[in-house]
Structure 1
Amino acid sequence: MKVLVLGASGFIGFPVAQALSRAGHTVYGLTRSATKAKQLAADEIIPIIGEPSVSDTWIHLVPTLDVVIEAIGGTADLRNIAVSLLSIVGTAAQATRPPSAPKITYIYTSGMWVHGSSPNEFICDTTPLNPITLVAWRPAVEQAILKDEKVNGIVIRPALLYGKSASLLDPVFEAAATGGKVAWYGKPGGRFALIHPDDLADLYVRVVEKAPILGGLAIDAGNENTEPVDDFLQRLLEVSGAKGPYEWITPSNLFEEALSTTQLLRPYLAKSLLGWSQKKPGLTEGLPLYYAAWKALQDGKEKGETLFAALTS
């Protein structure tokens, strides 16, 4: 299959593009960075440099693509970008693909926060949505994608990511490593809904390969069991050698409130329809490995910055 990943150098997009390439698919990866384009090429991903919203660099691929994956992050304008990209792909597909061609599949990367906080009741893929304020706009975007007549729309909702460069857990790892306060948002008793990027990438591959029969579905992407935040924080003190006790932070903005979200997640569609299962150790169980990986990445960045400063001084 031919797949275009929009946001292919991101924390989700890169492992997804790598996994698709390993599975034998032809993968195009859109990135804004020339440096990251070289990294994509080294992983046998065909790089395209450009902005997602400037479609001149990639829209010519639509006539022969099977799947477009939107995995864009790190921007404050995600809603408008999502709406715009759906329109661009749908319009181009309708105008350039033969009438006999199947609909192009459009996979949108949403997130588990659309389920809202659920500290007392289990939630799953088909639970009615009750989004937290930060992503209150997302259910409408999901529905627009799932119901669009020009594309075969599918939504994947990743839980909080862990491992590699730590994603949103990076600040608490940084605090542990530098003598700061090990702390998290919320209050005792919270639970993480989690997924490792490698397990998430495996799920994307399965969705891509079964896409023709998955149109119209929103699939929760998370480990089968949630994890107590207290256990993670205590384990981080032990693994890092940081001074305790750990602390709790009262959220002061919508993003911090989002990070304090507790969810009792029991996803079932990925397992029942695609045979997907978690393979990586959980966050707390595998923390020595994940913290060491994060530290190695920080050491590499510091060496790179030192070399750059020496060369440019």
Structure 2
Amino acid sequence: MWFKHLHLYRLHDAPEIDAARLEEALGEQAYRPLGGSEARRLGWCPPAGRAGTQLLHELQGQRLITALRQERLLPAKVVKEELEDRVEAIEIAEKRKVRRGEKLTLKEQVYEELLPRAFVRSQKIDLWWDTRRNLIAVNTSSRKRAEELLDLLRETLGSLKVTPLASQTLPMRAMTTWLGDPGARPADLVIGDQVELKAKGDDGVVRGRQVDLDSDEMQQLLESGRQASKLALGIEGRLSFVLHDDLAIKSIRFDDALIDEASQTDDGDDALVRLETDFLLMAQALADSIERILAWLGGEAQAGGAVPTAA
């Protein structure tokens, strides 16, 4: 249940829909088995898996919904090899060259024939909707997957106006400042041991794990003009994470004290109670942490306002 990655979005003109109506709407876009000729499918499924049938869990204004994404894995190399074999067979049998248009038609046929036999990859993606703060977060490492889920939610609700969460100070600028000037770090910010530095030119990317970010070597890299595009940070008693330059929060690890608090809650061995208990504790911790991160970055950038700059 505990999220590992977050892509964050601000919800504008939030649709007024209660839990019962939302559950019904989700049901209309519920996941259906992937057909033999379909390459991929996305639909809503119960967050509790086999332990429940609810498509929505809502507690104290915090909503949890989950999508199941399935796609058939048909490598381009497999299609290419089969196509080459068929082209060669035709050219030998008919003693002529296969034209480009014929090859395209053959390629489509090969794809359609092989697709139903391809392996299927399944992925569950959770979405957290904080109705009190008009915030939506998608638990995935991929921005593309997050946008796919928002498209599904938009189709489910009829409309959905969201924009990626943005800060007054660009994360890259702030992270570079925190690395170069310890005195500029907020009091509740904990620097970790992982970083990615980008150069303004074509000098490549420098990545470091389990390194001393206050070392002289790090200062020299910063003085050469490199900027932090990823930085491991933490909030004591809450969580640690890697902040990215697009304000994505990844590699989240919740504090042991928070996990212990969840584990000590009596759930009566009820999987649904456990899910909802963990989700509520997690949502509260994440909401508080996101507010702190935005404060570190000078607050949230207002929609329609000036675009923050890196310099």
The normalised TM-score by structure 2 is 0.21
Q: Which of the two has higher C-alpha Rg?
A: 2
The structure where helix makes up a greater share of residues is 1
Compare relative contact order (CA 8 Å, sep 6+) and give the higher one, 1 or 2. Answer: 2
The normalised TM-score by structure 1 is 0.21
The structure where strand makes up a greater share of residues is 2
